[in-house]
């Protein structure tokens, strides 16, 4: 049962319907804001265009993000309402695979301290490791006015690498300008977040987090030299280009045949 509705497992859009139900439930609990529901719809649209699968360019970016999580001095996973609502269990497994070496910070655009506490509760009860408390010491991201610029001193402010998802472009850009290396999970390669991030993961947040965790597991015995060679050859421009081409190819074959075959 999800939100009072029984979604049959056999439904072709089961995963997508479960995600919607989770978001509605978390909206009712004050974890997700109405704007988050709208942002989810935009993401779903791009996932549809991409065929709802993790493409090779996404897997490559996920492997690079995993390498950065293992290489960086102060890696931080930034979690907002949508990301927590959809992927709290996956974030917990990622934090565990990292052995608590990454700090997890609740960081939100539409900030109220009450909502920060609620998201924190969702993550804590999923078993997330390295979670900063809601009353962490705060500072501001340079250039970001209003509460959307508030970050934890021990978290994003002192990070050299930030993994974030379903994020606003302005905030992503401000973090990059502040000197952080940012890996962003965002299904829309046109978004400012996707365009401004150092590593863009054009994939759905739950799938992406599972894939990153798998790569962290695979790479956790790798030497620093091996990890450095994974990140050294990476071009984000090429990743974005491949994501646009994947959409183009799928649209082109659908336009040719009128019938979806993949």
Neighbours of 22 (CB within 10 A): 21
51 binds ligand ATP (CB under 6 A): no
* φ and ψ at residue 245, rounded to 5 degrees: -65, -35
The two tokens of residue 25 are 């439930």
Q: Which is nearer to ligand ATP, 20 or 227 (CB)?
A: 20
Q: Which of 72, 78, 107, 193 binds ligand ATP (CB under 6 A)?
A: 193
43 binds ligand ATP (CB under 6 A): yes
Q: Which of 78, 95, 188, 211 binds ligand ATP (CB under 6 A)?
A: 188
111 binds ligand ATP (CB under 6 A): no
42 binds ligand ATP (CB under 6 A): yes
The two tokens of residue 43 are 């993401």
Q: Which is nearer to ligand ATP, 48 or 133 (CB)?
A: 48
Q: In a 3-state reduction of DSSP, which class is residue 23?
A: helix
The secondary element (H helix, E strand) that includes residue 185 is strand 181-185
The two tokens of residue 91 are 């974030």
Rounded to the nearest 5 degrees, what angle is found at the Cα of 94, between the Cα atoms of 26 and 114?
Answer: 35
Q: Which is nearer to ligand ATP, 140 or 192 (CB)?
A: 192
Residue numbers in the known binding site for ATP are 20, 42, 186-188, 192-193
Residue numbers in the known binding site are 20, 42, 186-188, 192-193
């Amino acid at each position: 049962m999800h939100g009072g509705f029984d979604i049959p497992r056999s439904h072709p859009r089961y995963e997508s319907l479960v995600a919607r139900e989770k978001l509605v439930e978390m909206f009712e609990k004050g974890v997700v804001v109405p704007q988050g529901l709208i942002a989810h719809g935009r993401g779903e649209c791009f996932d549809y265009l991409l065929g709802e699968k993790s493409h090779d360019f996404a897997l490559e970016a996920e492997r690079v993000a995993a390498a950065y999580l293992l290489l960086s001095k102060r890696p931080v996973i930034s979690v907002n309402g949508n990301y927590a609502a959809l992927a709290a269990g996956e974030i917990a497994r990622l934090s565990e695979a990292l052995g608590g070496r990454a700090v997890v910070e609740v960081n939100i655009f539409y900030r109220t301290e009450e909502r920060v506490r609620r998201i924190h509760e969702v993550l804590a009860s999923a078993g997330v490791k390295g979670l900063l408390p809601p009353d962490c010491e705060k500072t501001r991201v340079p250039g970001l006015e209003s509460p959307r610029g508030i970050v934890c001193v021990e978290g994003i402010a002192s990070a050299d690498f930030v993994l974030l998802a379903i994020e606003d472009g302005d905030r992503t850009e401000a973090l990059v300008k502040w000197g952080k290396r940012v890996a962003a999970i965002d299904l829309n390669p046109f978004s400012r977040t996707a365009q401004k991030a150092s590593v863009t993961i054009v994939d759905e947040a739950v799938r992406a987090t599972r894939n990153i965790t798998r790569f962290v597991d695979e790479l956790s015995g790798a030497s620093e030299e091996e990890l450095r060679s994974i990140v050294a050859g990476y071009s984000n421009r090429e990743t974005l280009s491949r994501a646009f081409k994947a959409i183009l190819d799928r649209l082109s074959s659908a336009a040719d045949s009128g019938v979806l075959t993949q």
